[in-house]
Amino acid sequence: MKYNADEKGYYGEFGGAYIPEMLYPNVEELRQNYLKIMAEESFQKEFNELLKEYVGRPTPLYFAKRLSEKYNTKIYLKREDLCHTGAHKVNNTIGQILMAQRLKKKRIIAETGAGQHGVATATVCALMGLECIVYMGEIDIERQAPNVARMKMLGATVVPALSGSRTLKDATNEAIRDWINNPTDTHYIIGSVVGPHPYPDMVARFQSVISKEIKSQLQEKEGRKNPDYVIACVGGGSNAAGAFYEYLDTPEVGILAVEAAGKGIDTGKSAATSVLGKMGIIHGSKTLLMQTPDGQITEPYSISAGLDYPGVGPMHAHLFKSGRGEFHSVTDDEAMKAGLELCKLEGIIPAIESSHALALFEKKQFKKEDVIVVNLSGRGDKDLNTYIEYFNL
């Protein structure tokens, strides 16, 4: 079994590029060039230098002693929360801005829901002096004022999407419309392992630095490259793809993916795509997707904005379907409890997305000698208001 994309961008039966004809030239230009450009020595050099000097990589692989004692197993945290801008997303936007420069693009567009990807995109545009336009649903602009302010400070133009439910999917529609109208000078930075081929593969490759580092760091600390399990939360799936990447073809390493169950799988307020989803097409990719019986996309829900996505990247759909990955779902309450527990036991305030991955220790029993790596995808500063409200702080 193969767990990476084939030349057409398929992961098993998932993936591909289901796009309107008018978008074909843009996507095709990227498809024809991305592997070639990424393989260039000058690209690799600049990418790795920026990851080191600007993002702050390698991020530590931290042995969480008190958390390990509590769950009677050996737990390491991969500290993506220490990346510049507070999460793993910047690994990808750094890669894509360098790609855009080499494709001679002058203008960058992106869509954002909670604003995290918008901020990561605005950051790298400021770094490189490129024009940045971020589409965002009008409702999300109201809900996520601090991130809107960050994007503006970083020099981006935030354009409200006024149609439909005025949230993420409408912002995506606006971004696609923009790209169709600006085929030559614009690059569209997608924020996760979703969208038409080659995006899922390209984003997974940029994020794979996470598992490359885990390998060498674990070798140093444990005398072996492979943990028994890697755990990551899955929204679209980019931090998980990065943490799993080097281990996809190593069956001894258990792959544990955690989705957001929201208020509960059966409540209609959930984002657990592998359980609730059926095959469908979203953002140009054939994948598992939460939908009504007549194929309309269902509005997802999770307390963490980053997991609030109705689909899942095609790599993860394939990991689920093939059985290579073990998928779990965690409710809002379970995640919030696990997040607070990490604060008290390790002095680390995690993003609520990452707290979903941590909550797995209450649901799955590990052996004392197991070595487990949890990808701590981001820090909790952005979630402070949600923590305050939830715990009455």
Ligand X SMILES: *Cc1c(COP(=O)(O)O)cnc(C)c1O
Residues forming contacts to ligand X in the complex (CB under 6 A) are 87, 89, 116, 192, 233-240, 306-307, 351, 353-354, 377-378
Torsion (CA) 299, 201, 48, 116 in degrees, nearest 10: -10
Nearer to ligand X, 74 or 196 (CB): 196
Is 36 part of the annotated catalytic residue set?
no
Q: Which residues are bridge partners to 133 per DSSP? A: 109, 157
List 80, 111, 174, 346, catalytic entry:
111
- Tokens linked to 16: 């591909």
Among the listed residues 312, 195, 201, 200, the one whose alpha carbon sits nearest the alpha carbon of residue 260? 312
List 329, 354, 377, 382, catalytic entry:
377
Nearer to ligand X, 186 or 354 (CB): 354
Least distance from C-beta 234 to ligand X, angstroms? 5
Least distance from C-beta 352 to ligand X, angstroms? 8
Give the CB-nearest residue to ligand X. 378
Least distance from C-beta 37 to ligand X, angstroms? 22
- Tokens linked to 242: 């990065």
CA distance 86 to 148: 16
List, as one string, the DSSP characters of 22-44: GGHHHHHHHHHHHHHHHHSHHHH
Least distance from C-beta 105 to ligand X, angstroms? 23
Nearer to ligand X, 196 or 237 (CB): 237
Least distance from C-beta 15 to ligand X, angstroms? 16
Is 89 part of the annotated catalytic residue set?
yes
CA distances for 74 relative to 111, 212, 239, 240, 249, angstroms? 39, 20, 21, 20, 23
| Cβ 320 vs Cβ 257: under 8 Å | yes
List 74, 78, 89, 105, catalytic entry:
89
Nearer to ligand X, 231 or 233 (CB): 233
Buried b (16+ CB within 10 A) or exposed e, 45-82: eebeebbeeebebbbebbebeebbeebebbbbbbbbbb
Is 362 part of the annotated catalytic residue set?
no
Least distance from C-beta 313 to ligand X, angstroms? 7
Tell me whether residue 33 is exposed, middle or buried, using C-beta atoms within 10 angstroms of its C-beta: 0 to 12, 13 to 18, 19 or more: middle
For residue 371, what is the DSSP state?
E
Tell me whether residue 179 is exposed, middle or buried, using C-beta atoms within 10 angstroms of its C-beta: 0 to 12, 13 to 18, 19 or more: middle
Judged by DSSP in three states, 310 sits in coil
Nearer to ligand X, 74 or 350 (CB): 350
Q: Which residues are bridge partners to 132 per DSSP? A: 108
Judged by DSSP in three states, 392 sits in coil
Within 13 Å, how many C-alpha atoms sit on residue 212's CB side? 9
Least distance from C-beta 367 to ligand X, angstroms? 27
Nearer to ligand X, 26 or 377 (CB): 377
Nearer to ligand X, 196 or 235 (CB): 235
Catalytic residues: 89, 111, 377
